[in-house]
Structure 1
Amino acid sequence: MSHPGAAGVPRAGGLRRAHWILLAAIVCGLALLGGVLFYLSPVLALLDNHDLSPGKPLVTPAATPPPLDSKQRVNILLLGSDNDQKFAQDAVLSQTMIVVSIDPAKRQVTLLSLPRDLWVAIPGHANAKIDLAYKEGGAPLARATVEKAFRIPIHYYAWIGLNGLIKVVDRLGGVDVDVLHPVLDDNYPNDFSDSGYGTERVYLAAGPQHLDGRHTLQYVRSRHGDLLSDFGRSVRQQQVLLAMQQRTAGMDLVTALPAFARDLNGHVKTDLDLVRLTQLMLFMRGLRPTDVHQAFITPFVRDAVSPDGQQILQADWPAVNAYLRQLFGGDLLP
């Protein structure tokens, strides 16, 4: 005999079963989330390493980064420094300055090298060599200096130290480069001595070479044995960047990203977030060599002496500006 209303009352066993299913789902979800965070923790730690330049004024970027789903150009200022133990870690010159300009609409990338000895106006400071901007104000001032001098909006930056380059090249399994001419440097800085001082002899033969991290650093950093001095070094730096990009072509970057992050933690500073970094890495991996344009302003600069007696490079700014309009079109700052 049935009781009125009994059919609408859930059984106690059913409630307990639903409760345990829900609890198990929550536990599984938390475990999955914890696993993802553990997997990505090296990446998150790396991306949390911003260049805040304690005690130095923060300079606001001139341009807001484009949305992730846009086809607008994205410009990244790539900085490299000699940051061995003989220098204060928060006051190093930028020996490398390359604007990496990514045009998603055309699937093209432009690499624009900026000479370290170029004489420019540094916001809030006297005119100086452009490499001084990073020393005086970190990435924010380096960014503002490039924006002021070249009218290129810098949306992100990435700084890498000596050991960072060595580690990323070794993680890639080395790079293949065609050494344009022999590199012979009897006064190469011995970066890995206990004191950071001293020199060593470096020799790299001309022709195709497979370089590990330490020899790659020597290749991109040496300038004493190059007839083109810093100009030749800029060419070699871009050559290595292209070789590194080619090495990533067959890699599963999503799987490899945490390993790279562990290697680079403490050797890299950037304001790229995880989503943008992953997006850019996947974009770069799919590029062909013909999609990358190498650019230099060296034809438009000349040797000069600064008012305080330094050997500098002086730009022909009308010629530089015309060249930048060819490269960036209407994407320059007003």
Structure 2
Amino acid sequence: MAEAEPLLLRVDQAGPRYNEALQTAVAACAADTAGQTCYICLEGAADEGLVRGCSCRGGNGFVHVSCLVRAAQVAVERGGGPGWRRWDTCGLCEQEYYGDVLCALGWACWKTYVGRPETDEIRELAMMQLGNGLHATGNDEDARSVREAELSMIRRLGAPEDDLLVAQTNLACTYQELGRLEEALNAFRDVYSRRLELNGEEHVETLRAANNYANSLNKLQHFEEAKLLLCKTMPVVRRVLGESNELTLKMRWLSAEALYRDPSATLDDLREAVTTLEEIERTARRVLGGAHPLTAATEARLQLARAVLRARERAAPGDVSSVCEGVAAMMTPGDA
């Protein structure tokens, strides 16, 4: 017998939750979308309102969520793996949506496919999409509920190992946001090890697994282990994906974090961290735009790294205790 799914996954919940997420996304984008038209239907805000949650610039990327939903449905009906990307990726700039827009699309995706049989692969993908959207807006208790249900379901159905690894990764990300750091670290370590065996070190999924593992090590302040991992994988991600790829930027970001958060860091380490974050911020702003979460996060970490460097430069030689206390005071709970 199939296990009961969480309340929020019930068919009768999909429509109301989508409507709530849509209104939230439109409200969050209102200042940016005023007076614009949808690039798909060429109509204005009308009753629904417009959004833009990607990396488009200028007059590009403004769109009705309903238009994105119809485009995604058509793409999936036409078949082929790339068609599914329309549920989370802009058709203009080819960057993934983020924040409230991704959450609205997650609920729209689940609303579209929730009626399919449990064994239907598209229904399972829709559940994953919903979990990603909830995670993107910090609704991690709901995301945990969805992702635990997804992992339990695909294990029961005997899904391929690749699907299991994706589901385990997503759930570990949610555990990490909920402060269950040791559970997350163990999962990320296992996934990275399996990806190396299954896909090899140059596969994009292996590189994503390395990024997640390094991030988890940093959060638990295992900085030396994180540095070793990043030293091994950074040349690979740069060679395979290029300097401007979002995953490359994230790995460089983690490398800088492992330097400036480490109490044993030298002045040269701190200066290297600041320089690296300055380079990442410029690239992220150019490639992803100023509103992208990675750009905003890099700016925040850059300010923190600069503050740590200034504190160390003013401290007496060998006195790092005050610097460490200052870092701890400036870190938000999710950074620890």
TM-score if structure 1 supplies the norm length?
0.26
Greater share of helix residues, 1 or 2? 2
TM-score if structure 2 supplies the norm length?
0.26
User: Radius of gyration: which is bigger?
Assistant: 1
Greater share of strand residues, 1 or 2? 1
Question: RCO higher in 1 or 2 (8 Å CA, sep ≥ 6)?
Answer: 1
